[in-house]
A and B are shown apart, each in its own frame.
Chain A
Amino acid sequence: MAYSEKLIDHYENPRNIGSFDKTAEDVGTGLVGAPACGDVMKLQIKVGADGLIEDAKFKTFGCGSAIASSSLVTEWVKGKTIDEAETIKNTDIARHLALPPVKIHCSVLAEDAIKAAIADYRSKATKKAE
């Protein structure tokens, strides 16, 4: 199977691998998994006082397409508002990396991970406001 150059690049040189303190108020953590293939993905965002995502990190155990999808998403969300980041669709990820049809679920995982990270950040912000 031929993989795209963009996919191979993200797989071989993944961006933003790592972790933030998940208890920090300005950090949102999304932890999602695809049990059918045993993949697990953690994606974290750090939101600045101006409401923009200033940094993002990920840690993924899974196939190359799952690693590339999460790497790409961390690049995409930086500098965006959380509302903008929430609009990222798995189809955008799949198209950008030219994922083969059998690997589309990896992009679904990345979309769910960023949504979960945003939900976590929002629930922290709501708690703080109360």
Chain B
Amino acid sequence: MDHFARLGLPAALDLDAAALDRAYFALQRQWHPDRFVAKPPEDRVRASAEAASVNEAYRTLKDPLSRAFYMAGMAGVDLPGDGKTIDDPDLLMEAMEAREALHDADTPEAVDKLAVEARQDVHKALAELASLFLANDRAAIRKTLLRLRYLDKFAEEARARRMNIDRSNA
């Protein structure tokens, strides 16, 4: 059973966050170990396995990027794993230029501006991804997900850069 089915939700990228929370908390209650203390051992084992699956499903689907990668796996999109390299020039040039701009940004305002732009790019890319999943365009899904990986990394680096600037100004 896939993570969406596990939570009784449609397999969609633009999952309703509130519906996801509701489904998760309901199932968590249903399989909570406290409700199985007086039950036979096989029921207790089952409940703990169900609870673990529900937790994993929730963890995977809660974050939009992680959800997108999971859906890509379901759709059979081939993504490079740990230690695999890529040489897509457009994507890497964009990532390189963004990181250079961040490196040169030396005020909190300059860093925030770049971070805001990157967040907008993430939203746009996620919206594109939703229609790419509908069209099952695997090559484009792959490319967009790799771009999202780099945008996500950029956001992380922007937070670190911001903290460094704040600390040196303090």
Contacts and interface: CB of A to CB of B under 8 A. Distances in A.
Interface in B42-94: 79-89, 91-93
Contacts of A108: 83, 85
Nearest to A102: B82
Contacts of B22: none
A109 B149 CA distance: 17
Interface stretch (A5-13, A36-44, A67-75): A36-44
B87 A116 contact: yes
B153 interface: yes
Nearest to A113: B85
Contacts of B100: 59
B96 interface: yes
Contacts of A36: 80-84, 149
Contacts of A109: 85
A108 B146 CA distance: 19
Nearest to A110: B85
Interface in B90-121: 91-93, 95-96, 99-100, 103
Given A104-B83, A112-B87, A35 B99 contact: no
A31 B87 contact: yes
A: interface residue count bin: 10 to 19
A32 B87 CA distance: 5
Given A38-B150, A38-B152, A61-B99, A31 B82 contact: no
Interface in A35-65: 35-38, 40, 42, 59, 61
A122 interface: no
B152 A59 contact: no
Interface in B122-170: 146, 149-150, 152-154, 156-157
Nearest to A29: B89
B99 A33 contact: no
A118 B58 CA distance: 46
A124 to B, nearest CB: 15
Given A40-B92, A59-B96, A33 B152 contact: no
B76 to A, nearest CB: 18
A33 B83 contact: no
Contacts of B83: 34, 36, 104-105, 108
B125 to A, nearest CB: 14
8 contacts: A31-B87, A32-B86, A33-B88, A33-B91, A34-B84, A38-B153, A40-B95, A104-B83
